[in-house]
């Protein structure tokens, strides 16, 4: 069911990662990604796996819950791995017709597959330990310096907040409408692609209608409360950098430096 | 012939930290031809329960039988759809499920899914619209989105009735309607019941339940706590109030009168009977005063 999707979900907790400032976490994820694509040998990759495992431990998220969240990407990872194995040029190890496996192919496939899994893991950790509101606050704050060159930081953040806020609502709405139509005998599960596409109409029309209606109502509600963009807005909970964040940031920079160092091995 | 719920348990988000037991061992039999009311506080499991009655949800434990056939049983998997057709369900705010260009097409959606012939479908649409007090000639080519809220809801219910279910489940059918629309609507549903349809109505309005239901059940935290005729169930005033529920306005009145010393029978439920009872009690007291 739709409710099983865990990507982008927040899990209430009280771990070290939960308590970090969202800006630290966003920068941390960026640094981690750079490090992930910096390493180019097995030692480096091994180290990155260890680092990721450490993050999972630190977040105190139940392991099976975390792994369940990775399930949806299995297909993408498999596809990437298969493509990499067969499409990379190099010394041929095995050949059958036009299919050939090269040493570089195996290496690339292993690296890309691991990178993809780690990438999704780290971003899940970010969203699992950070509330959507904190996340967008962090992004807004990080984009502030770019406001001078015309980046609408507040508006972007507000759009993201609203979009994130309505994902669960829309999922719930979708399930409700699906049930109502299923009760009238609609069949969403069988038939070929064309039939399935057609079967979506009874779902999509009401869903769009209600989404537009909601958007309208939200706009009116915001205006009724005198919303007028980012200027002069203050916050109930301003973001605050603490000693924890400095320590975390330093550790992350150290990680990046070490990742760079593994290239020299 | 009945709808039977046998020790049904249901858990949302099983295996995650957010898991919650929405139903905990529900046993319930709904007989053909009756008008059953289901009441309960928000989150008591009412909606989860009715979704089990036509197989939209699969119980985590236990079974649901429709006229003796088990939903989701391993032997007759294919018949789920057919069993489902026997049990029509009208969700809260059913007008949100409308999607076709015309009223006629929308009501025909269900029967079409049943694989009926064109002629039969038309017949059923006409019949369902008549049952819902909708003028076929005037409305058949109108877009459902141009109708008023109350009419949209009637069209949506006609869409379910057109499948000619034997059991009709309604989740808060009168929510969000104005008093006049409410009255008309509930009378329509009552009429359907008199025509022989088995009606299961979920409602927050104790007055409506008292007025229409022949039998009622009370759900609390996923368990079935009270069951019986409305006049019996509504004698448990304190119990109901401790669950965040109330009793019908007239029952409240009778209890208040009794507390003030007027000897009235608090188990009555029909307005005419209550009127007669209060008049009787007043007359009696007058007689005592004179004597």
Q: DSSP of B179-230, one letter per residue? A: HHHHHHHHHHHHHHHHTT-EEEEE-S-HHHHHHH-SEEEEEETTEEEEEE-H
CB of B125 closer than 8 Å to CB of B172: no
CA dihedral for B16, B21, B27, B30, sign (positive or negative) = negative
Q: Which band of pLDDT confidence, cut at 50, 70 and 90, is reported for residue A3?
A: low
Percent of chain B with pLDDT over 90: 55
The mean pLDDT value for A137-149 works out to 89
Q: Is residue B78 over pLDDT 80? A: no
Residue B217 shares a structural domain with residue B198? yes
Distance CA A173, CA A171 (A): 5
Q: Which has the higher per-residue pLDDT, B74 or B239?
A: B239
Count of beta carbons in the 10 Å neighbourhood of residue B231:
18
How far is residue B48 from each of residues A140, B22, B42, measured CA to CA in Å? 40, 7, 11
All residues of chain B having their beta carbon less than 8 Å from the beta carbon of residue A206 are 96-99
The answer to whether residue B11 neighbours chain A at the CB level (below 8 Å) is no
**Residue A171, CA atoms < 13 Å, CB-side half-sphere:** 13
All residues of chain B having their beta carbon less than 8 Å from the beta carbon of residue A62 are 17
DSSP A40: -
Residue B167 shares a structural domain with residue B237? yes
Residue B170 shares a structural domain with residue B113? yes
Residue B172 shares a structural domain with residue B285? no
For the ranges B38-52, B61-75, B150-164, the lowest mean pLDDT is seen at B61-75
Residue B54 shares a structural domain with residue B123? yes
**Least Cα separation, residue B147 to chain A (angstroms):** 15
- Look at residue A254 in the predicted model and tell me its pLDDT: 92
Determine whether B1 is exposed, middle or buried from the number of CB atoms within 10 Å of its CB (0-12, 13-18, 19+). exposed
All residues of chain B having their beta carbon less than 8 Å from the beta carbon of residue A68 are 16
The answer to whether residue B17 neighbours chain A at the CB level (below 8 Å) is yes
3-state secondary structure of B231: helix
The mean pLDDT value for A107-128 works out to 90
DSSP B98: -
For the ranges A137-146, B80-89, B227-236, the lowest mean pLDDT is seen at B80-89
**Residue A221, CA atoms < 13 Å, CB-side half-sphere:** 6
* Closest CB from A64, A176, A210 relative to B91: A176
Residue B43 shares a structural domain with residue B93? yes
- Look at residue A1 in the predicted model and tell me its pLDDT: 47
Interstrand relation of B20-31 and B2-12 (parallel, antiparallel or unpaired): antiparallel
Q: Which tens digits make up the pLDDT trace of A205-240?
A: 999 999 999 999 999 999 999 888 777 777 787 888
Nearest Cα residue in chain B from A205: B99
> In whole numbers, what is the pLDDT of chain A averaged over residues?
86
CB of B8 closer than 8 Å to CB of B23: yes
Interface touch A183/B145, C-beta < 8 Å? no
DSSP A148: G
State the Cα angle at B58 between A189 and B189, rounded to 5°: 90
* Closest CB from A179, A202, A210 relative to B91: A179
Residue B40 shares a structural domain with residue B162? yes
Among residues B247, B263, B278, the one where a domain terminates is B247
Percent of chain A with pLDDT over 90: 31
Q: Is residue B32 over pLDDT 80? A: yes
- Look at residue A4 in the predicted model and tell me its pLDDT: 55
Residue B149 shares a structural domain with residue B238? yes
- Look at residue A166 in the predicted model and tell me its pLDDT: 86
For the ranges A96-105, B191-200, B216-225, the lowest mean pLDDT is seen at A96-105
CA dihedral for A94, A97, A99, A102, sign (positive or negative) = positive
The mean pLDDT value for A145-170 works out to 85
Number of domains chain B is built from: 2
Q: DSSP of B5-35, one letter per residue? A: EEEEEEEETTTSTT-EEEEEEEEEEEETT-E
Closest alpha carbon to B37 in B158, B175, B170: B170
CB of A243 closer than 8 Å to CB of A26: no
Q: DSSP of A181-234, one letter per residue? A: HHHTT--SSSS-HHHHHHHTHHHHHHHHHHHHHHHHHHHHHHHHTT---STT--
Q: Which has the higher per-residue pLDDT, A3 or B35?
A: B35
How far is residue B184 from each of residues B126, B151, B158, B187, B192, measured CA to CA in Å? 20, 11, 15, 5, 13
End-to-end CA, chain A: 47
The mean pLDDT value for B219-231 works out to 92
- Look at residue A198 in the predicted model and tell me its pLDDT: 85
Q: Is residue B15 over pLDDT 70? A: no
Q: Which band of pLDDT confidence, cut at 50, 70 and 90, is reported for residue B76?
A: low
The answer to whether residue B16 neighbours chain A at the CB level (below 8 Å) is yes
Residue B167 shares a structural domain with residue B271? no
Q: Is residue A5 over pLDDT 70? A: no
Task: Give me the domain span that covers residue B288.
Answer: 248-291
CATH number of the domain bearing residue B225: 3.40.50.300
Which strand (E) or helix (H) includes residue A177? helix A153-183
Each domain of chain A, given as residue ranges in start order, spans: 1-130+237-265, 151-233
The answer to whether residue A172 neighbours chain B at the CB level (below 8 Å) is no
Q: Which tens digits make up the pLDDT trace of A53-91?
A: 999 999 988 888 888 878 888 888 999 888 888 887 777
Interface touch B110/A180, C-beta < 8 Å? no
> In whole numbers, what is the pLDDT of chain B averaged over residues?
89
Percent of chain B with pLDDT over 70: 96
CB of B60 closer than 8 Å to CB of B15: no
Interface touch B15/A210, C-beta < 8 Å? no
């Amino acid at each position: 069911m739709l409710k099983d999707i865990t990507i982008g979900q927040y899990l209430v907790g009280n771990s070290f990662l939960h308590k970090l400032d969202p800006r630290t976490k966003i920068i941390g994820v960026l640094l981690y990604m750079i490090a992930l694509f910096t390493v180019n040998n097995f030692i480096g990759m091994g180290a990155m796996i260890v680092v990721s495992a450490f993050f999972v431990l630190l977040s105190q998220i139940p392991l099976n819950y975390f792994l369940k969240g990775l399930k949806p990407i299995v297909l993408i990872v498999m596809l990437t791995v298969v493509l990499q194995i067969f499409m990379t040029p190099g010394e041929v190890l095995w050949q059958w017709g036009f299919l050939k496996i090269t040493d570089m192919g195996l290496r690339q496939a292993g690296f890309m597959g691991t990178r993809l899994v780690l990438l999704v893991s780290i971003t899940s950790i970010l969203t699992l330990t950070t509330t959507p509101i904190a996340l967008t606050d962090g992004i807004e704050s990080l984009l502030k310096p770019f406001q001078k060159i015309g980046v609408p930081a507040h508006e972007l953040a507000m759009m993201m907040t609203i979009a994130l806020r309505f994902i669960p609502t829309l999922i719930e709405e979708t399930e409700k409408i699906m049930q109502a139509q299923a009760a009238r005998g609609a069949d969403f599960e069988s038939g070929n692609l064309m039939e399935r596409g057609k079967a979506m109409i009874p779902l999509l029309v009401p869903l769009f209608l209600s989404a537009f209606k909601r958007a309208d109502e939200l706009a009116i509600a915001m205006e009724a409360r005198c919303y007028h963009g980012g200027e002069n807005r203050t916050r109930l909970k301003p973001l605050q950098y603490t000693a924890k964040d400095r320590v975390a940031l330093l550790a992350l920079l150290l990680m990046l430096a070490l990742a760079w160092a593994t290239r020299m091995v | 012939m009945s709808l039977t719920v046998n020790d049904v348990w249901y858990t949302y988000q099983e295996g995650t930290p957010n898991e919650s037991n929405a139903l905990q061992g529900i046993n319930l039999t709904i007989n053909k031809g009756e008008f059953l009311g289901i009441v309960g506080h928000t989150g008591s499991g009412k909606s989860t329960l009715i979704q089990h009655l036509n197989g939209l949800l699969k119980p985590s434990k236990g079974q649901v039988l429709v006229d003796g056939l088990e939903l989701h049983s391993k032997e007759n998997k294919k018949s789920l759809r057919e069993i489902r057709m026997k049990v029509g369900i009208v969700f809260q705010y059913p007008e949100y499920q409308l999607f076709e260009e015309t009223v006629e097409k929308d009501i025909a959606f269900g029967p079409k899914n049943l694989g009926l012939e064109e002629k039969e479908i038309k017949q059923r649409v006409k019949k369902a619209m008549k049952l819902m007090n909708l003028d076929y000639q005037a409305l058949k080519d109108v877009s459902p989105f141009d109708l008023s809220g109350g009419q949209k809801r009637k069209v949506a219910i006609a869409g379910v009735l057109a499948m000619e279910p034997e059991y009709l489940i309604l989740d808060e059918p009168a929510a969000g309607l104005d008093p006049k629309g409410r009255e008309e609507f509930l009378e329509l549903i009552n009429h359907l019941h008199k025509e022989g349809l088995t009606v299961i109505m979920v409602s927050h309005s104790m007055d409506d339940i008292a007025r229409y239901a022949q039998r009622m059940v009370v759900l609390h935290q996923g368990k079935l706590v009270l069951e019986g005729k409305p006049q019996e169930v509504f004698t448990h005033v304190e119990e109901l109030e401790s669950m965040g529920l109330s009793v019908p306005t007239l029952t409240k009145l009778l209890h208040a009168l009794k507390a003030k010393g007027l000897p009235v029978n608090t188990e009555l439920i029909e307005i005419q009977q209550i009127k007669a009872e209060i008049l009787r009690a007043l007359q009696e007291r007058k007689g005592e005063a004179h004597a």
